[in-house]
Structure 1
Amino acid sequence: MAVIHTTDAEFQQTIKEGVVLVDFWAPWCGPCRMISPILDELSEKLGDAATIAKINVDENPETAGRFGVMSIPTLKLFKDGVEVNTLVGVRPLAELEAAVREHLG
């Protein structure tokens, strides 16, 4: 499954079901560009088991504000609409995969 992009308007629907890792990012952010290929690889490894979503904080400030995102990239993990974990900064693939798999099944 490919990484999806979401917006303030779609956010609640995006995180409603299953395990969803959301990347709060912006195009001008160097570390955000560094983590992007890691998230693509994670999405390939997980397939349909979990969803990887990205939300541009410049275009969607409401959601970033609601979840207290102060620095990017911030990755928030949701299970059935409930926030279960937060990771700030670029993280290795193995750490992200472990964080997601902890909430699967």
Structure 2
Amino acid sequence: MSLIGFIRAFILAGLPRSTEDWGQGDLAVCIEAKGGAGDNIDPAEGDLLRVSDVCCDGIFLHFEGKPDTRHWLAAHFRKVRPDTEPAAEEEWVDQLKHFRRKEPA
């Protein structure tokens, strides 16, 4: 291993890891907006972004609409998972049936 490879491996080993299984096209919400360049390109907390690429074994994420030369720590994002539960239509209809209009006093 070259000296540069050793230094790279040492730095990457010290970075926080994400527990998510990131993939291209995933939606990510920013939960921590530190460690970036501090410019208007950096995501802000609460920003919703689409992953365009995952690199360094999931340590870094690239996002659609952001420069390809920039990446952010995956540990600062959480995956937005779609709701796969069926709608509770019966419960909603039951709530509507018991809904009462406000009567003027």
Q: TM-score under structure 1 normalisation? A: 0.27
Structure with greater helix share of residues = 1
**Structure possessing the higher radius of gyration over alpha carbons:** 2
Greater strand content: 1
